[in-house]
Amino acid sequence: MNDPHVQFFAKATIPLFLFFILLLFFDIGLNWKSMGAFIGLILTRLIIKKFTGEFIAEGYADIPMACMAF
């Protein structure tokens, strides 16, 4: 459990899940051809920037769980 390589891997993959959430919103916007999905993409980006700025490097499981639920 105390292997630093495992901790680094967990902390390094968190930004990928944020990217996947934004990519999913973009894909929904392209498939539905809806402007609401693109507005949701922009708002999601702003929310991510405001609320997860200092917690991205901590490695919490909230962001991957939100991605999996979405």
- What pTM was computed for the model? 0.75
What's the Rg (C-alpha) of the chain?
A: 14
pLDDT at residue number 68: 92
> Which residues have a Cβ under 8 Å from the Cβ of 40 and sit 6 or more positions away?
25, 28, 29
State pLDDT tens for residues 19-48: 898 888 888 888 888 788 888 888 888 888
pLDDT at residue number 65: 92
Cα–Cα distance for residue pair 1/46, rounded to 1 Å: 35
Residue 18 domain boundaries: 4-69
Residue 3's pLDDT band (cuts 50, 70, 90): low
Domains contained in the chain, number: 1
Cα–Cα distance for residue pair 35/53, rounded to 1 Å: 27
